[in-house]
Every structure is written in structure tokens, then in C-alpha cells.
Amino acid sequence: MSLLEVNNLLVEFRTPDGIVKAVDGVSFKVDRGETLAIVGESGSGKTVTNLAVMGLLPRKIANISGSAKLDTGAGPVDLLTIPRSELREIRGNDVAMIFQDPMSALHPYYTIGNQIIEAHQIHNQCSQEDSEKRTIELLELVGISDARKRLNAFPHQFSGGMRQRVMIAMALVNNPKVLIADEPTTALDVTVQAQIMKLLADLQKELGMAMILITHDLGVVAGSADRINVMYAGKIVESANVFELFATPQMPYTHGLLASIPRVDRPQLQRLETISGQPPSLISLPAGCAFAPRCARKSEVSGSACELTMPALVEISTGHSSRCHLVGQVNR
Amino acid sequence: MFGYLVRRIATSLAILFAVSFAVYAIFALLPFDPAALTCGKNCNNPAIIEANRIRLGYDIPFWQQYIVFLGGLFAGRNYGEGAAAINCPAPSLGYSFNEHECVTTLIRQALPVTASLAIGAMILWLIVGITLGVVAARFRGRSADTASTIFVLIGTSLPTFLTGLLLLVFVVIKWRIIPFPSGNYTSLFENPLEWAQILLLPWITLAFASAALYTRFVRNAVIETLSEDFIRTARAKGLSEKVILRKHTLRAALAPIATMAGLDFAALLGGSILTEKVFNLPGLGRLSLSAVVEYDLPIIVGATLLSAAIVIAMNLIVDILYAFIDPRVRVAA
């Protein structure tokens, strides 16, 4: 089996306004050394998918079903059903996560040394000194100079990019098999973004781990992802390897995303393309394709299939599937 | 940090100086003749009044009186001359012509009572408030949370004098668990058991309302902190809920409560008039209350000044404490 196999994941939130289907039947696989990018707008379910896999959604308000099988080396375990105590042993150890906003994701009252050493100590029976040594090693690995001194620094003494490096060091301290990076560069300056993306790509190669990269920006993942899953309204609408997705996008939504990436070679007097309209409310999803109300090409589909039936996720070529009534026609 | 401390202490002293002037001015400019008040209610002997005016130093202009008052704070003060002179040693806050006693002496007698009351009550309400608040937050929406909400409602809506009276009626008069408060006070160092017995009901009375308030406050602070990103990070690390609550949540949630508790404590040290009155405790509250009723201006000035000094000092202590709790404050300081 693959390292991590998510199958038919379904996440529903009970809210006063009704049930929100945040993730609806999502399946994917990641293997060692592979980078999977999950791309989509805010509210498309990409973050919720991964929080569910990490067991970080409050069980009181979230209904979760499906499976997320992780190969821990001692046989596969389903992260969604194992007891909390066993999940805690896996979290931060086999599967680690870095978050969107490094400003708020680090505890403001503890030194970064304290926080990383703590992450190491939970999963390792070793002395404080050994953990400290490992922490320094990692801080150096993520490019923080003078690491020994920086152990005693507080998060607020670091810039955003440095804090994200600290977060990465903390996530990697136990050599995780899977690293989930949830929009790791969204809160950062563009130049720092590039540095962090390169760092993540280098580290992944060096450590041979699997990486799930969540982003709303296809441009960010073009250089580092192996596979891309495009999500819309809680569903995967297109999945392909990175080259194929950029070359032959099938789903009009993917098309829109690609067209909205700023490019240097675009004619000068032309505005950046946008996808008109808003993502649908997840409480009352239409019966048909969730993207239909915003789709510029639904008139090409005969009848009103787009409004009436949700297209299935169909494999068009090996490893490339798309959820669209126009499958095979969108090619341009 | 050191420069910051020096700066803060200097500002505190300046504020205290300004407060002392304002307090002295307010009471000096009230339409009362303190000299006339010294002579009792039905006194109309102008000779005695004039003699007292000179003896107590009310014959000189107001601003000179203030300077003499300040001088008394540092060097002590004599009232009258010769054998009949009354000496109030430094720090002298004045002389009460009603009680025939130096104000400093009166405050010295009353302060330990009020301090015992305040410290005991605060310990009680912090223990109850923080425990209930954390439990309510941890089991949000369950029966423990509902029970705490009921406690909060009762605690915040019952006025102190009613709680005190209810305790007196049931615990002291009906069930006779504790003897009736005699109006005497026994120091902790003389007889700790009696001390605690005298103060037990006042502690409960005073702590009740605050415990309710703190329960609500702690509950909300913990719930809010639990939704912080850094708590999600702690969970993602694989920490147990116990460690997350103890190490990561409480410190952040309780930081604002340290501020609140410090200022509430300062307010209590100024005297809790209702509780002291209900339980007949000879504390600062009772002293101030009788001084107000009797127009005993020197006591009012002294007590007000002391309260102001305590509030200013507690503010300073809280700010310094905060720098230890929250490292971000240290840099800003």
C-alpha cells in the first residue's frame, strides 16, 4: 500500500444553520518521497481534509467518516478510528503538520527551544540534552544561524519567515513519514515564500518523506509538487500529475485557476483573469455540479446536465481524472 | 528592565504626590469648619473653637496647611505646645479630634484586620474561581458547566450585605456553629484559630461574589485560549490534553487574571465597608465609614491617601509580574 491512503473521506459540521458538508468523498494516496498538492479556494475543504486526517477537528461538532490508512511500518492503521492515545503517538511523530500563520501557531510565552524540545521529548525517551542537541541540529538544517543562542529566543523576536522555519524545524524534529504543510507561505512576503518553498522541497528530498502541500495558489506548487488534487466545494474535481495538469487541464475550474496565475509572458495590456462569482454555500449545495453556476462553458453541455447531475470523477488517462460533463472536450 | 523599573517608580511617586494634593484640597475646601467640628455637636463656645483651630493648624492658609501635612508625613507632627502637646510621629497623617488619636495609629490598628480579610478572601475566591472556571471550560456544555453557570448567576446577583446577613442568620444564629461576632479582632499571631474563626464568614461573604465573577472570566479565557492556533500546534505535536491545558492553556489564559486579581486586591485593601460593617470587624472600611458619618476629615484624608497608594503600588507590582508572565511585554518595556 501507499504510505498514506485516504478513502472516501466525509466531514460534516453541525451548525445552527444546518449541516455543512465540508469534505465530501475525498480519496487520495501519497507515497514516500512524493509531494501531493491540494489546491482550491478558501472553503473548498482542503484544510479540513487534512485536519481530519490529523484528528484535529473537534469531534463534538464534526461528523467524520471514511478512512485514512497510514503505513506505520507495523501494518496500516486507520487514523480516523484508532483511539486518541494511539493517535497522539502518531501525531508529531509519523505525521507532522505546519500551519498557515507562523505568527500565531507558536506559543508566545515559551522560547522556541522549549517548544521544539517539548515536541522531541514527547516521542522520544531521551535526556533533555539529547533533545536540545537534536533541536539545534534541526534549527541549523532549516537555515537558522547561531542556533544554540536562538534556543532562548521567543517567537516574537523572529520575523515571519524565521518563525515558519522554526515551525518546520519543530515539525521535522521526529523525522515524520508524512509532512502536511497547510498554506505554509500564505502569510509571508513573496521573496520569503520562495525561500520557504525551496527549503521544504530540499528537506523533502533529503529526508525522503511524503509531503501534502495545501495551497490556493497553483503557481506556488508548480515547481515542487508531483501530483495535484484540485478541490472545489468539498470534492476533488481534478487530479493529475503536475505536468499533465498544467498542460491539459480538463475541468473548467482548473482552467480558471491556471488562467488566474500572473505570468511574465502575458500580453501587457491585459487584466489578470478571474473566476467570476462566489463559491457556493456548503449548506445547500445544488443537485448538479457545484461549479455550474460559475462555469463559463456549461452551455457546451447538451441539456441541463450540469444543473441536474453531479458528474463522476472519471479517469481520462492513466493517473489523470476529472469531474466534468465535458470530459475529453476541454482540452485546448 | 532596571531603567524601566526606575521610571515606573518615579512616575508612581509623582502620581502619589498629585493624588495627595487633590485629596487634601478636596477635603480642605469642603464647606466644613474642622475646628468647629472638634468641639462637639452642641458646642458654641468660640474661644474653644479658636483655640482648637490654632492647636490643629487650621488657622493658616490652605496651601501652607498642605505643606505642613507633607512635612508631617516625613518628620511627624506636634499638635499644641508644652505639656498638653500631642505628638504624632512620622509618618503622620494627621490627628483625629473625634477619636483623640493620631490617624496613623488608627490606620495601623485597622489595616491588619482589613489585610487579613482581603488576603483570605482573595485566596478563597482565586481557588474557587479558577478551579470552577477551568472545569467549566474543560467540560463546556455539559452538566458541570451548567452548574457553574448557576453558581455565577447566584454569586453575581446576591449583594454582599445579603450574603453576609444570610450567613449570620443561619450559621451563627440558627445553627450556632460559630459564636456571634463580638466586634473584637484577634491577631493571627496571637491566636490563629480564633483569628480564622472570626474571619471565616467574612471571607466567604467577600469571596462569594468575586469567585462567581472569576469563574465566568476564567471559563471564557480558557475557552478562548483553547481556540488559539498555538493550542492546535500543541495538539499536532502529540501532546496530551492534560499537558495542553496545564502548560499551554493556563499560562496564557491566566495572565489577564493576574492583572484583575491585583487590582481587585488593591481595592479590597482600602477596606470592604459592607462586609466589615455586617460582621462588626474593626477594619479600614469601618474606620472610614464612621469617619464619614462624623465628618472626621483627617481620617478620611488618611484613608483615601492610603488606598490610593495601595492601588498605585499594586499597579506597579502587576505590571512587573506581567513582564514575567508574558515575554512580549519585556521587550516593549
pLDDT at A166: 94
Choice among A240-244, B15-19, B59-63, B118-122 with the minimum mean pLDDT = B59-63
Q: pLDDT band at B28, cuts 50/70/90? A: confident
pLDDT at B333 over 70: no
Per CB-CB distance under 8 Å, the chain B contacts of A101 are 229
The answer to whether the CB atoms of A91 and B229 lie below 8 A apart is no
pLDDT at A226: 93
Q: How far is B323 from chain A (nearest CA, A)?
A: 11
- Report DSSP letters for B278-317, one per residue: HTT--SHHHHHHHHHHTT-HHHHHHHHHHHHHHHHHHHHH
The answer to whether the CB atoms of A88 and B248 lie below 8 A apart is no
Q: What is the DSSP letter of B330?
A: H
Per CB-CB distance under 8 Å, the chain B contacts of A93 are 238
When pLDDT is averaged across residues B105-131 and rounded to a whole number, the result is: 94
Q: How far is B330 from chain A (nearest CA, A)?
A: 11
> pLDDT for A68-95, tens place per residue?
999 988 889 999 999 999 999 999 999 9
- Cβ proximity of B163 and B78 under 8 Å: no
- For chains A and B, CB pairs below 8 A equal 68
- Cβ proximity of B301 and B94 under 8 Å: yes
HEC profile of A284-322: CCCCCCCCHHHCCCHHHCCCCHHHHCCCCCEEEECCEEE
Distance in angstroms (rounded) separating the CA atoms of residues B306 and A136: 53
Q: How far is A157 from chain B (nearest CA, A)?
A: 9
- Cβ proximity of A117 and A132 under 8 Å: yes
> pLDDT for A282-327, tens place per residue?
887 878 888 988 888 888 877 788 888 888 888 888 889 999 888 7
User: ipTM of the assembly?
Assistant: 0.88
Report the range out of B91-100, B120-129, B161-170, B252-261 with the highest average pLDDT: B120-129
Choice among A33-42, B30-39, B169-178, B285-294 with the minimum mean pLDDT = B30-39
Per CB-CB distance under 8 Å, the chain B contacts of A118 are 237, 239
- Cβ proximity of A190 and A219 under 8 Å: no
Per-domain residue ranges for chain A? 4-232, 235-263+271-322
Q: How far is A187 from chain B (nearest CA, A)?
A: 14
pLDDT at A58: 83
Chain A contact present for B145, CB below 8 A: no
The answer to whether the CB atoms of B229 and A101 lie below 8 A apart is yes
Chain A contact present for B328, CB below 8 A: yes
When pLDDT is averaged across residues A13-40 and rounded to a whole number, the result is: 92
Choice among A125-139, A192-206, A233-247, B74-88 with the minimum mean pLDDT = B74-88
Q: pLDDT band at B226, cuts 50/70/90? A: very high
Chain mean pLDDT for chain A: 89
Least CB–CB distance from A109: residue in B232, B233, B327: B327
Q: pLDDT band at B88, cuts 50/70/90? A: confident
Chain A contact present for B108, CB below 8 A: no
Least CB–CB distance from B229: residue in A90, A96, A105: A105
Chain A contact present for B253, CB below 8 A: no
Distance in angstroms (rounded) separating the CA atoms of residues B69 and B224: 50
The answer to whether the CB atoms of A122 and B239 lie below 8 A apart is yes
Cell 479600614 belongs to residue: B284
% of chain B beyond a pLDDT of 90: 36
Distance in angstroms (rounded) separating the CA atoms of residues A185 and A161: 8
Q: Which residue of A has its CA nearest to B326?
A: A109
Helices (H), chain A: 46-54, 84-90, 102-105, 112-123, 128-141, 147-150, 160-172, 190-207, 218-221, 242-247, 252-259, 305-308
Distance in angstroms (rounded) separating the CA atoms of residues A63 and B235: 19
B104-332 adopts what CATH topology?
A: MetI-like fold (1.10.3720)
Per-domain residue ranges for chain B? 2-102, 104-332
CATH placement of domain A4-232: 3.40.50.300
pLDDT at A184 over 60: yes
Choice among A5-19, B212-226, B292-306 with the minimum mean pLDDT = B292-306
Q: Report the candidate in B2, B7, B8, B4 with the shortest Cα–Cα distance to residue B333.
A: B4
Pairing label, strands A227-232, A35-39: parallel
Per CB-CB distance under 8 Å, the chain B contacts of A56 are 232, 235-236
Q: pLDDT band at A331, cuts 50/70/90? A: very low
Task: Look at chain B and count its residues.
Answer: 333
Q: pLDDT band at B41, cuts 50/70/90? A: low
Per CB-CB distance under 8 Å, the chain A contacts of B242 are none
Give the global pTM.
0.84
Choice among A37-41, A304-308, B16-20 with the minimum mean pLDDT = A304-308
Per CB-CB distance under 8 Å, the chain B contacts of A96 are 236
Q: How far is A226 from chain B (nearest CA, A)?
A: 25
